[in-house]
Amino acid sequence: RPGPGGARPLLVAGQLIDFQWKLGVAISADSCKSLKLPCVTVALKVADGSGNITCKTFEMTVPQFQNFYSQFKEMASVLETF
């Protein structure tokens, strides 16, 4: 939808509805090649501009999750300035 002056947004981001994570040990997974090592499962619920909710689940290694978390914190601090 056009913004002020008829400009259209370049990027429309979904709204994060829910974020859950859990630590476990992978018995079999695509992303955790070394089995029996800790893996983090992340479940996200995101609403698009129309209000449709999509659920996404993915697995990461612990170092990947730590990096993901660090980037999330960085984004949150940037968004607080708006």
Task: Go through the domains of the chain in sequence order and give each one's CATH number.
Answer: 15-80 (3.10.450)
More reliable by pLDDT, 5 or 43: 43
Percent of the chain with pLDDT strictly greater than 70: 73
| Phi, psi (rounded to 5 degrees) for 27 | -95, -40
Chain segment 19-39, per-residue pLDDT in tens: 999 998 867 666 655 567 788
Measured from the Cβ of residue 2, the count of other Cβ atoms closer than 10 Å reads 8
- What is the pLDDT confidence band of residue 54, given thresholds at 50, 70 and 90? very high
AA letter at 31: S
Q: Indicate whether this model's pTM tops 0.75.
A: no
